Amino acid sequence: MRQVLLFIIIILTGITFIGRLFYLQVISYGNQNLYDDNAIRKVYDYPKRGFVYDRNGKLLVDNQPSYDVMFIPREVKPLDTLEFCNLLKITKEDFKKIFNKAYNYSPRLPSVFIPQLTKEDYAALQEKMWKYEGFYIQKRSLRHYQTSIGANVLGDIGEVNNAIIEKNPYYRMGDLIGKQGVEISYEEELRGVKGIKFIQKDRFNRDLGPYKDGIYDTLPKQGKDITITIDSKLQEYGELLMKHKRGGIVAIEPSSGEILAMVTAPNYNPNLLVGRERSKNFTKLYRDTIAKPLYDRGLLAQYPPGSPFKVLNALVALQENVVNTQEKFSCRMGYYLGSRRLTGCHSHASPLNMNDGIAQSCNAYFANVYRRVIDKYDDASEGMDVWSNHIKSFGLGDYLGYDLVNGSPGKIPDGAFYDKWYPDFNWGSPTTISNAIGQGEVIATPIQLANMVAAIANRGYFYTPHIIKHIEGQPIDEKYTTPKHTTIDKKNFEPVIEGMFDVFNKGTAESLQVPDIEICGKTGTAENFTKIDGVTTQLTDHSIFVAFAPKDNPKIAIAVFVENGYWGSRFAGRIASLMIEQHIKGTITRKDLEDWILWHSLEHEYEKPYLGEPFGINANSTYQLVDAKEHERLKDLAKDIHN
Amino acid sequence: MVETQRFLRFDWITILLFLLLVGFGWLNILSASHVGDTVDYLDFSQPYGKQLLFIFLTFGLIVILLAIDSKFYERFSSVIYIISMLSLVGLFIFGKNVNGATSWYGIGGMTIQPSEFAKAATALAVAKYLSDLNTDIKNFKDQLSVFALIGIPAILVLLQKDAGSTLVYGAFIFVLYREGLSPAYLIISLLFIVLCLLSLKFGVLATSLIMAIIVFGFHFSRKKKPIIIQPIAIFLIGILASFGTKYFYDNILPAHQKDRITIWLSLEKDPEKLERMKKTIAYNLNESEKAISSGGLTGKGFLEGTRTTGKFVPEQHTDYIFSTVGEEWGFLGSALVVILFVLLLMRILHLAEQQKSQFSRVYGYSVAAIIFMHFLINIGMVMGLIPTIGIPLPLFSYGGSGLWGFTILLFIFIKLDSDRINQW
């Protein structure tokens, strides 16, 4: 024992050490890599972000340099603080605050002193930069908008947040990423791939040169330019027409599903969300919870579609073979079940066949037709399901699948929905009669309605709406070039389209005809409510209009929503007809119509609920006109567009 | 012819292992201390340059050590011991303070650390004393004398705030045990260490309970029970030791050593505070473990260690040199170093057992025990297995005194061993 004890201890020690080494170096080695190694500095080389062009090749978004004033606290030597602060337009207190904060973070590491100087400030500062030891300027690339329109489509970029960094290892603290619009949808194409250099450093963070002579370094890959389907002129015109109104316009090219214009009102100038003022401006826009300029109404707002929905009911009825185009239904200022009026109507000739039913937007006609569809089946729930499937085949009731991140599903009820709603009640077609006129449980977004119109214009199919036209000539995703067919046979579309055509010829939009263009459309009016101090209060109806044109070989399908604009042809119809003319003819022949829209404002309507006094709606609301100066300004803008 | 035979009698296996460790050690010092891309090997302002010079001088030293008659070491061991002790005492007057320890003489631009030589001197003295025919290690008086021989340098270095070197003298307990010291010493030492750790980790009360169960359980399970006073006395002494440990830790132990133990035993319960300690007090240890771990199976390659090149581990070329091995040579390289040390130690022990003279055997055993203690503490510390104690890795770490101290220690034994045929 005496001779072997130390032997044994030595062997055991050796085994323990090797075991410990094995644990440290082999078992817990896995998570070690260059990126986690704090002995390696990673220097990123950011490629140029791709540009954005409109469908006609007009440059909308490019980049501009911006200059961050950086500093390393420890290296800062005494300086003429007053002059320095004046150059940067800050106070001496600001200087101290920024300096101390950075010093506490790390005296050795670079910190941002003032981010994103303007070119002018930079020029002034640069001449004197040599005087300020420890300070230097770092160039960054920012977005530059060549236009003041389309903020909701173009989107913006900003710094990544922690949630994204955790999910996607590509991004590092301080990287820029798309925050809205196409900047998100085509983030990967636009941003390219950043390059990386691995720099060996010591524990004081000083550079010692490239790691392994740079064998792991990569070069940046340029971002790709994208061309979007927006016609910037049409977009600009749409935004102009929607000035002093709230709502959305979505215009789609039926033959391709390309989104020609996507207007939300109110909106903002995309240049507000660039550079040093970004967060200040963003907060301001974000906090405006009344006008909600950041809320893309074209994609997000879900309204009851109102009368435009009637054309779908006509199509479903024809498809289900429960009515023919000549059968007439009478209307006694509404639809009655026994002596109970289920839905009202306005005054027009009676009885009406399908064509007139659509043209005159007769509620009673569609109540009859709708009931026949549901009642065709023994069970109301089954009938409801059949109806629901037809309607949904137009892209309603669910996300459309377009290439923008914002969206709402809308709602198309089915049998199960009402079974759940009325568990102990034998519901039937009269219970759900509001669906006949697009009011009940049905809701849809403007882009869904525009798409629905496109499907009608195409006589039975649509392409998923999309914003991307091409990426440097590369073909786009097949998803956007494959037609989606509705459940309605082609032959059933013609009578309905005739009806929509007659809306302009002799119906509710007679006054909105455009010379030489055959427009098919449908007016709509949707009741809506808000809560004022907890009391549900009705507001002036939303003005809705959907249309496509020309009747043969349609070039544009459009849906216009104007919040509280009253009846369909009053605001939405006028705007739709102007947009169609602008798109097809490239000019406006009815200047008086355009002028009417520019001149009229709905702002007083939007103020009503907040004024704290009783107010009238619909027929009791009055027009408001913008002041002369603003009127002139808008007219000048219109002139610029037409030239 | 005779000279050739003598030359061949040197134990070449030990010499080879020595050369491998010194050579590999230098490569790692080069890695840990070089700056920039170009290496000027003769740049004596850099540790690697200096160490190269030390290594060359070592060869001269080896020639001298091997040329001296082996009888000289035995005869003059007392003188060597006394001179060595005087050099330690002299530090109190002439010593130079480096990093809080007064362990160096400054001569010109050089510094010499006498404690590195004192180990060899003490080993000689202990060997001499134990091999004396009049000495009987089972005799208590003789035990006291030999403890004194070991205790004097141990206390002197402790007073110079070099606690790590003091611990090394504990290695002699293995030598004494080999030569017939009662195993009780070993067992009591071991129990005492366990008792200390339990007291710190679980507190005095829990430790007392554990002790009570073991002591009385053992007592009552015995067939022939000694009087009850015996276990009670043992228990009381245990409690006293436990209290003493706690008191020592709380009130006497210098703050930095206390913190090292706190971290080692994870005594700090507040995770935030513990994290902060890792970044400050345990910075070295933390970076060293990270460096070793980052080496993986095969390492990052010679001169390619990012943490080594970036000087993330302070004192890496001295006490933390093993972390360089870990990072650049990986598991394979580090395990090889461990194996080389184990082989060297086994070889020395093997040779020691073959000595015919007791002097040579005791000395050889001392050499193995001292090197083993350094090996155990240094590598254990660098890998976080034992608390931070600053002592060099023999033959590996940067430092002239250390290299020469170990060279003297080892080559005296090689010389003695080569003469064993003449030892009658």
Gap between the Cα atoms of B327 and A364, Å rounded = 85
Residues in chain B within 8 Å Cβ distance of A199: none
Rounded to the nearest integer, the mean pLDDT of chain B is 87
Q: Which domain-ending residue is among B222, B243, B274?
A: B274
Residues 6+ apart with CB under 8 A from B38: none
Q: pTM of the predicted model, to two decimals?
A: 0.65
- Whether residue A9 and residue B174 make contact (CB cut-off 8 A), yes or no, is yes
Nearest chain A residue to B35, by CA: A208
Same domain, B198 and B342: no
Residues 6+ apart with CB under 8 A from A272: A151, A278, A281, A282, A285
pLDDT in tens, A165-218: 788 878 877 778 888 889 999 999 999 898 888 887 766 667 777 877 777 788
Same domain, B48 and B128: yes
Whether CATH 3.90.1310.10 fits A41-228: yes
Q: Is B190 on the interface with A (CB under 8 A)?
A: no
What pLDDT was estimated at residue B26? 94
What pLDDT was estimated at residue B82? 95
In chain A, how many H helices and how many E strands? Answer: 22, 22
Adjacent-strand bridge partners of A198:
A42
Same domain, B152 and B7: yes
**Whether residue B91 has pLDDT greater than 70:** yes
**What is each CA distance from B214 to A308, B204, B211, B236, B245, in whole angstroms?**
91, 15, 5, 13, 20
**Whether residue A314 has pLDDT greater than 60:** yes
Query: How far is B293 from chain A, CA to nearest CA, in Å?
Result: 4
> Has residue B107 been placed in a domain?
yes
Q: Is A37 on the interface with B (CB under 8 A)?
A: yes
Same domain, B257 and B375: no
Q: Residue range A24-44: average pLDDT?
A: 71
- Whether residue A25 and residue B385 make contact (CB cut-off 8 A), yes or no, is no
- CB-neighbour burial class of residue A174 (10 A; exposed 0-12, middle 13-18, buried 19+): exposed
**Whether residue B79 has pLDDT greater than 90:** yes
- Whether residue A24 and residue B383 make contact (CB cut-off 8 A), yes or no, is yes
**Whether residue A606 has pLDDT greater than 70:** yes
Structural domains of chain B, count: 2
> Measured between CB atoms, which of A17, A25, A209 is closest to B293?
A25
- Whether residue B335 and residue A201 make contact (CB cut-off 8 A), yes or no, is no
- Whether residue B293 and residue A24 make contact (CB cut-off 8 A), yes or no, is yes
> Has residue B186 been placed in a domain?
no
Q: Give the rounded distance of the alpha carbon of A148 from its chain centre.
A: 16
What pLDDT was estimated at residue B3? 60
What pLDDT was estimated at residue B4? 63
Instruction: Return the DSSP state at B393.
Output: P
> Has residue B414 been placed in a domain?
yes
Residues in chain A within 8 Å Cβ distance of B178: 2-3, 5-6
Q: Residue range A106-133: average pLDDT?
A: 79
Q: Which domain-ending residue is among B246, B274, B302?
A: B274
DSSP string of A509-551?
A: TGGG-BTTB--EEEEEEEEEEEEETTEEEEEEEEEEEEEEESS
Number of other CB atoms surrounding residue A255 within 10 Å = 14
Q: Give long-range contacts, CB 8 A cutoff, 24+ apart: A288-291.
A: A290/A606, A290/A610, A291/A246, A291/A266, A291/A606
> Measured between CB atoms, which of B307, B349, B379 is closest to A17?
B379
Residues in chain A within 8 Å Cβ distance of B334: 21, 25
Interface test with A, best of B280, B294, B327, B396 (most A CBs within 10 A): B294
A23's enclosing H/E stretch is: none
Gap between the Cα atoms of B43 and B40, Å rounded = 5
Categorize the per-residue pLDDT at B323 as very low, low, confident or very high, splitting at 50, 70 and 90: very high
Residues in chain B within 8 Å Cβ distance of A210: none
Nearest chain A residue to B182, by CA: A2
- Whether residue A201 and residue B310 make contact (CB cut-off 8 A), yes or no, is yes
Task: State residue A115 phi and psi, 5-degree precision.
Answer: -85, 150
Rounded to the nearest integer, the mean pLDDT of chain A is 86
- Whether residue A203 and residue B346 make contact (CB cut-off 8 A), yes or no, is no
Interface test with A, best of B35, B325, B334 (most A CBs within 10 A): B334
Same domain, B170 and B73: yes
**Whether residue A29 has pLDDT greater than 80:** no
Number of other CB atoms surrounding residue A45 within 10 Å = 12
Gap between the Cα atoms of A467 and B147, Å rounded = 90
**Whether residue B1 has pLDDT greater than 60:** no
Among A241-245, A532-536, B47-51, B107-111, where is mean pLDDT lowest? B107-111
Same domain, B211 and B200: yes
Residue B335, amino acid: A
Range of the domain at B404: 2-181+275-422
Q: Which B positions 204-243 lie with beta carbon below 8 A of chain A? A: none
pLDDT in tens, B345-358: 999 999 999 998 99
Same domain, B210 and B135: no
Number of other CB atoms surrounding residue A127 within 10 Å = 9
Percentages (nearest 5) of helix, strand, coil residues in chain A: 40, 20, 35
Residues in chain B within 8 Å Cβ distance of A37: 294, 306-307
Same domain, B281 and B260: no
Residue spans per domain, chain A:
41-228, 232-642
Residues in chain A within 8 Å Cβ distance of B365: 6
Residues in chain B within 8 Å Cβ distance of A32: 293-294, 296
Categorize the per-residue pLDDT at A107 as very low, low, confident or very high, splitting at 50, 70 and 90: confident
Categorize the per-residue pLDDT at A30 as very low, low, confident or very high, splitting at 50, 70 and 90: low
CATH fold, domain A232-642, is Beta-lactamase (3.40.710)
Q: Is B339 on the interface with A (CB under 8 A)?
A: yes
